């Protein structure tokens, strides 16, 4: 499991390392914590291999990576709308553009997303990737 992150209300968000890959929320409740599964990630291997913590933007959207989904890994976004979370696949790695992202997602001031993979790319040693909004 990647690290946990807090939102401004004191809720914790995290993800599971092994299939089926899930994103969850822990909310303070009566001196303890209430667990809620927010989303079960798609892809071969069930979205497993999420070693890195999630990131949250100022609008409360969650971003993460999966190491093995769709064979070479993904970058995704979860947005809350109405009563549920909605999944958007931002990038599916193919090997030549990187393979097996294990880093967390970082933002710059313009909202671009950055991370790394530990394999793939031109020489097979991984890449630093950028996704622009």
Q: Is 46 helix (H, G, I), strand (E, B) or coil?
A: helix
At residue 50 the predicted structure's pLDDT band, cuts being 50, 70 and 90, is: confident
B/e letters for 62-96, b = 16+ CB within 10 Å, e = fewer, are bbbbbbbbbebbbbbbbeeeeeebebeeebbbeee
**What does the pLDDT look like over 60-111, one tens digit per residue?**
999 998 887 778 888 999 999 989 999 999 999 999 999 989 888 999 999 9
User: Within 10 A of 60 (CB to CB), how many other CB atoms are there?
Assistant: 13
DSSP secondary-structure letter at 18? S
């Amino acid at each position: 499991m990647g690290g946990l992150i807090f939102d401004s209300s004191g809720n914790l968000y995290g993800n599971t390392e092994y299939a089926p890959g899930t994103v969850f929320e822990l909310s303070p409740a009566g001196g303890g914590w209430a667990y809620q599964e927010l989303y079960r990630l798609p892809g071969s291997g069930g979205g497993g291999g999420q070693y890195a913590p999630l990131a949250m933007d100022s609008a409360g959207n969650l971003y993460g990576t999966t190491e093995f989904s769709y064979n070479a890994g993904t970058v995704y976004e979860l947005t809350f709308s109405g009563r549920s979370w909605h999944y958007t696949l931002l990038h599916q790695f193919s090997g030549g553009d990187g393979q097996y992202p294990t880093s967390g997602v970082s933002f710059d001031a313009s909202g671009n997303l950055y991370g790394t993979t530990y394999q793939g790319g031109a020489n097979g040693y991984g890449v630093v990737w950028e996704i622009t909004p």
